[in-house]
Amino acid sequence: MYVSYDYYRIFYYVAKCGSFTQAANILMSNQPNLTRAIKSLEASLGCTLLERSNKGVKLTDEGEKLYEDISIAIEHIIAGEERITANKTLQKGFVSIGATEIALRCLLLPILNRYCSKYPGIRIKIVNISTPQALTMLKGGLIDLAVLTTPVDSSPEITEKPIKDFSEAAVCGEAFRSLSKGDPLTLTQLSEYPIVSLGNKTSTYEFYQKFFAQYGAPFSVDIEAATADQLLPLIRHNLGIGFVPEDFLDGAADGQGIYRIPVSTPMPKRSISLVKKKGHTLSLPARELEKMILE
C-alpha cells in the first residue's frame, strides 16, 4: 500500500493541534485541503481516524494508534531537516527557560553568555522562578527547558538529568559571630536562632525542612527571602543565620561581614538539574541550548 507522506504529515498536525484551523495555519494551507487529505488517508486505511465535535477534533481508537506510531517518525524527520539547515535556522529563533536563582548563579549565567555570543540572533526569555513554579510552567508548555535546584518532584510528565552538585554552608553576620568561633553546632542548637531562608513553596525550604527533621530538629523560618540573592544581605544585617551555596560566598569573605558556622552534621550535597517535558520536541535553538548545558 502506498500512502502519500503529506497525508500522514497533515494527519499528524491536525491530531497534535486538535484543530483543522490551527493545523492549516501551521502548514500554510486551508481547511478544505486538509479535510480532503484526511478523507483520502482514511479511505486508504479503511477506517475513521478523526471525529469532529464542538470542542475540536477527537481521535478515534484507530487514530490514536496511528498518531502514536507516526508522530515518532515525523518528529524524527523534522529534527533531521532542522539539523541539515542548522546554520540558517540558528540565525533567528526563540528559547524560553525557567531557572531558580541558585541555578542561574551557580551554573547557567556563563552558559547563557556563551550561547548569546555564538547565536546573537536567538532571543532568550529567562523566567526566574522557584522549582515548583517552573515545573508547572514546563508541564503546561510555557517554557522549553528548566534548570532547577533539587529536590525536584518526580512526575511521569518530566525527565530530570542532574548537571552539577553544589554544597551549602551555614553562615551568620557580625551579631552572631561567636557561633563561628566555638565548637560545631548541632541542628537543634542552630534551630534556637532566628533563621533566614527562602519561603515554604520553594525546593530549598523543603530540602532543609526534611534535613532538620531527619535529625529530630525543628526548622522554623523567621524571615522568608523572596529570592536567593536576598539571603546574604539579610544575614549580613544580622536578621538571622542561614544556609547559602558556597558559590555565593565568593567575594563575601569574613571581613565583609559574613562568617561560616561550623556544623556537627555533614551538610548534604544538592544538585542542579536540567528538566524537560517528556515527549516534547524541542526547537533547534532550544536543543542547542540543551546541548551546551549538558556539556
Return the minimum-mean-pLDDT range out of 55-64, 140-149, 243-252, 278-287.
243-252
At 110 the pLDDT is 94
Domain 5-84 has CATH 3.20.20.30: no
User: Stretch 22-50: mean pLDDT, rounded?
Assistant: 90
- CA-based nearest residue to 181, from 243, 260, 234, 264: 260
User: Stretch 207-234: mean pLDDT, rounded?
Assistant: 92
Q: Residues 6 or more apart from 111 whose CB is under 8 A from it?
A: 289, 292, 293
187 within 8 A of 263, measured Cβ to Cβ: yes
Q: Please give the Cα distance from 56 to 286 (Å, whole number).
A: 29
DSSP codes, 36-87: HHHHHHHHHHTS--EEEETTEEEE-HHHHHHHHHHHHHHHHHHHHHHHHTHH
Single pTM value for the model: 0.63
pLDDT of 255 above 50: no
pLDDT of 69 above 60: yes
pLDDT of 85 above 70: no
pLDDT in tens, 166-220: 999 999 999 999 999 989 999 999 999 999 999 888 889 999 999 999 999 999 9
Q: Please give the Cα distance from 158 to 153 (Å, whole number).
A: 10
Q: Residues 6 or more apart from 143 whose CB is under 8 A from it?
A: 96, 97, 98, 125, 127, 134, 137
Q: Which listed CATH number (3.30.470.30, 2.60.40.1180, 3.30.70.890, 3.40.190.10) goes with 91-166+272-294?
A: 3.40.190.10
Q: Please give the Cα distance from 3 to 5 (Å, whole number).
A: 6
Q: What angle do CA 15, 16, 22 make, to 5 degrees?
A: 90
Q: Where are the domains of the chain?
A: 5-84, 91-166+272-294, 168-267
At 3 the pLDDT is 83
At 97 the pLDDT is 95
Q: Do domains 91-166+272-294 and 168-267 have the same CATH topology?
A: yes
Q: Quick one: 6 exposed, middle or buried, by C-beta within 10 A (0-12, 13-18, 19+)? A: middle
- Calculate the average pLDDT of the chain: 88
CATH superfamily of 168-267: Periplasmic binding protein-like II (3.40.190.10)
Q: Please give the Cα distance from 81 to 226 (Å, whole number).
A: 44
Q: Helix, strand, coil proportions of the chain in percent (round to 5)?
A: 50, 20, 30
Which residue in this structure is represented by grid cell 532538620? 212
pLDDT band at 243; cut points 50, 70, 90? very high
